Amino acid sequence: MQNPDLAPVPELYVSYDSAQKLKAEAGSLLSHDLTPRQICDLELLMNGGFHPLKGFLGQQDYDSVVETMRLADGRLWPMPITLDVSEAFADKVEPGQDIALRDQEGVILATMTVTDKWVPDKPREARHVFGADDSAHPAVNYLHNQAGKVYLGGPVTGIQQPVHYDFRGRRDTPNELRAQFRKLGWRKIVAFQTRNPLHRAHQELTFRAAREAQANLLIHPVVGMTKPGDVDHFTRVRCYEAVLDQYPAATTTMSLLNLAMRMAGPREAIWHGLIRKNHGVTHFIVGRDHAGPGKNSEGKDFYGPYDAQTLFRQHQEEMGIEMVDFKHMVYVQEKAQYFPADEVPEGATVLDISGTELRRRLAEGLEIPDWFSFPQVVSELRRTRPPRSRQGFTVFFTGFSGSGKSTIANALMVKLMELGGRPVTLLDGDIVRKNLSSELGFSKEHRDLNIRRIGYVASEITKNGGIAICAPIAPYATTRRAVREEIEAFGAFLEVHVATSIEECERRDRKGLYKLAREGKIKEFTGISDPYDVPQNPELRLETEGNDVDNCAHQVLLKLESMGLIAA
Ligand code: PPS
């Protein structure tokens, strides 16, 4: 497959003059503040990365994409690109109306003529697009717990690109890449998609792919949104830059793609292929478990390791981009060389380090061998991920009022301060309600907001190498999970369920609140007249009945030690 013309792909931007005019007029339009994921989607819609889409999907296209991987007119498009909004916002919009789409600073990026407004069947979307309505899948979790309840669809008029202050020289629109390929005379280009740092196996794989396809190589990492818990893109780009020296400059280039991944495995592979086709690429590498989301809630993989290759193969002709497929690459000791797993010489010694093992070695400050990665990459990763005993972390106590959370949290704080080495902050339920959340009550909405605030502060503390100890009731599992995700981007999260029964808490009734709750004088009281989701898999469950405070705090210390977070 060759790319004979590399003619520009259609963009959705208007001319500079029209953009100025539109910007001025848009002052009077209803504004939607885009979420980070919507900004990524909008950027690729406007710059042609999502060609042939002309805007956020309308209902007919959405239904068709969800069920058949095709737009209503039959063209292949596997991913619903939708503008989700809150019910409150949707109530203000009627089909036919123009709205302004703004970034988080309020800068107008585009306008959209709303043609459709509907409430999607999210479980159906989850089942069709992601294979299961299982919130262990990051995109399903996003769909149910982050995305708004209503979708708006309609064509977009692009005013300006989202602004990026980082790695500007490394970001290219589809047409910029096409122009670059045209200028260099590159006709066959194989793209490598990645959301991970490049190690030696990846280098070998990309070399082989370029050789096999007799093509130039585009390293095309995703820097928009990837899987929660991934290495942040700043670190990754520094790693890529370090490895780029190992590639022949005349045949290889790197460009950053501001895509928000969905981790949809096979469907995502097709989507990635179409996006690369729009960037002027002719060949696309699909390896093992492409865009895999990890394990489902039963501990099984969502997709088979080569499902993405199978689906891609079925559609590559129609897509106009050819797959270069690879088996998992492993290191063969005797040959001091990488091989695809199915080409390993018989009887040879195979070495491999999985992603989980690499994270463990980084976390524990253990050796990462030269055959596995490049010294510059390892040192970048070590700078970002120091051993766990030097990282920040959060201990998050949850349980009923009067369960003993605050008392144990206080004891733990003192013990950690005695150990020294890291600053410790206690975000106790009552303290937070006094200082951060004084205006909030106990409705679900207010409790969620309260916990989100605690999560935000704890994540900042964790990011900066400190210890945050939180001790709110935090009755909702989905909110606790959201906080966990926010914090795990920077360090460990230890959920401790203080499992004192409601009967015991009521019997103790230290603050006299249970009595008032029973009398109906306090409404929405957790455990009496309001729900509490018992944590299913906390890192630690503390039974306080018959266990003194010192012992409970000590159990937390032992857990922290076993996780490598404090020195033994
Ligand atoms: S939440 O749900 O996590 O936002 O709750 P939290 O911020 O931890 O606040 C709990 C403390 O507020 C007191 N209180 C109530 N708790 C539960 N339900 C109702 N309706 C309520 N009204 C007041 C109670 O003393 C809690 O303190 P702790 O430290 O948990 O005993």
Non-local CB neighbours of 444 within 8 Å, separated by 6+ positions: 476
What single DSSP character describes residue 383? Answer: H
Q: How far is the CA of 455 from the centre of ligand 1 (A)?
A: 16
Report pLDDT for 130. Answer: 98
- Select from 164, 171, 173, 154 the least CA-distant residue to 11: 173
CATH number at residue 420: 3.40.50.300
Do 84 and 52 share a domain, yes or no?
yes
Do 375 and 404 share a domain, yes or no?
no
Residue 328 included in any domain: yes
Of 367, 384, 401, the one marking the end of a domain is 384
Do 32 and 174 share a domain, yes or no?
no
Residue 260 included in any domain: yes
Of 384, 408, 438, the one marking the end of a domain is 384
User: Whole-angstrom Cα distance, residue 391 to residue 567?
Assistant: 12
Of 366, 384, 402, the one marking the end of a domain is 384
Q: Domain range spanning residue 47?
A: 16-158
Query: Does ligand 1 come within 6 angstroms of the Cβ of 219?
Result: no
CA–chain centroid gap for 134, Å, is: 16
Report pLDDT for 429. Answer: 85
Query: Does ligand 1 come within 6 angstroms of the Cβ of 480?
Result: no
Query: Does ligand 1 come within 6 angstroms of the Cβ of 472?
Result: yes
Nearest residue (CA) to ligand 1, atom 15: 525
Sign of CA dihedral 124, 126, 132, 133: negative
CATH number at residue 38: 3.10.400.10
Report pLDDT for 3. Answer: 62
Surface-to-core class of residue 328, CB atoms within 10 Å of its CB (0-12 exposed, 13-18 middle, 19+ buried)? middle
Mutate to test the pocket of ligand 1, among 442, 496, 523 (most ligand atoms within 8 A of CB): 442
Active site residues: 194-196
User: Whole-angstrom Cα distance, residue 171 to residue 177?
Assistant: 9
Residue 11 included in any domain: no
User: Whole-angstrom Cα distance, residue 283 to residue 165?
Assistant: 30
CB–CB of 217/251 below 8 Å? yes
Query: Does ligand 1 come within 6 angstroms of the Cβ of 508?
Result: no
* Number of domains present in the structure of the chain: 3
Query: Does ligand 1 come within 6 angstroms of the Cβ of 429?
Result: yes
Report pLDDT for 388. Answer: 87
- Strands (DSSP E) found in 292-340: 322-325, 329-332, 337-340
Query: Does ligand 1 come within 6 angstroms of the Cβ of 503?
Result: no
The tokens for 403 are 């369960």
- Select from 214, 183, 187, 217 the least CA-distant residue to 202: 217
Report pLDDT for 328. Answer: 85
Nearest residue (CA) to ligand 1, atom 21: 525
pTM here is: 0.78
CATH number at residue 267: 3.40.50.620
Report pLDDT for 38. Answer: 98
Residue 330 included in any domain: yes
Do 409 and 550 share a domain, yes or no?
yes
* ipTM (interface pTM): 0.89
Query: Does ligand 1 come within 6 angstroms of the Cβ of 404?
Result: no
The tokens for 81 are 């690109």
Report pLDDT for 568. Answer: 67
User: Whole-angstrom Cα distance, residue 256 to residue 258?
Assistant: 7
Q: How far is the CA of 403 from the centre of ligand 1 (A)?
A: 11
Q: How far is the CA of 429 from the centre of ligand 1 (A)?
A: 7
The whole-number mean pLDDT for each consecutive block of 10 residues of the chain, a chain of 568 residues, reads 77 96 92 98 98 98 98 98 98 97 95 98 98 97 97 98 95 97 96 95 93 95 93 94 90 97 98 98 95 94 96 97 91 94 93 89 90 95 87 97 96 96 93 92 96 97 97 97 93 97 95 95 96 97 94 97 89
Do 536 and 392 share a domain, yes or no?
yes
User: Whole-angstrom Cα distance, residue 80 to residue 66?
Assistant: 7
Residue 567 included in any domain: no
Q: How far is the CA of 487 from the centre of ligand 1 (A)?
A: 23
Do 44 and 134 share a domain, yes or no?
yes
Q: Return the ligand 1 atom nearest residue 447 CA.
A: 4
Question: Which amino acid, 82?
Answer: T
Q: Return the ligand 1 atom nearest residue 402 CA.
A: 31
Which residues sit in the known binding site?
A: 399-406
Cα–Cα distances in angstroms (integers) from residue 324 to residues 197, 213, 242, 507, in the given order: 20, 7, 25, 67
Do 292 and 327 share a domain, yes or no?
yes
Do 39 and 151 share a domain, yes or no?
yes
Q: Return the ligand 1 atom nearest residue 472 CA.
A: 8
Do 133 and 221 share a domain, yes or no?
no
Do 501 and 548 share a domain, yes or no?
yes
Q: Return the ligand 1 atom nearest residue 513 CA.
A: 25
Query: What dihedral do alpha carbons 356, 357, 358, 364 form, nearest 10°?
Result: 110
Do 338 and 431 share a domain, yes or no?
no
DSSP letters along 360-375, please?
HHHHHT----TTTS-H
Residue 47 included in any domain: yes
What single DSSP character describes residue 130? Answer: I
Q: How far is the CA of 504 from the centre of ligand 1 (A)?
A: 16
> In 3-state terms, what secondary structure has residue 561?
helix
Report pLDDT for 423. Answer: 96
Residue 541 included in any domain: yes
Do 175 and 117 share a domain, yes or no?
no
Strands 467-471 and 393-398, how do they pair?
Answer: parallel
Residue 26 included in any domain: yes
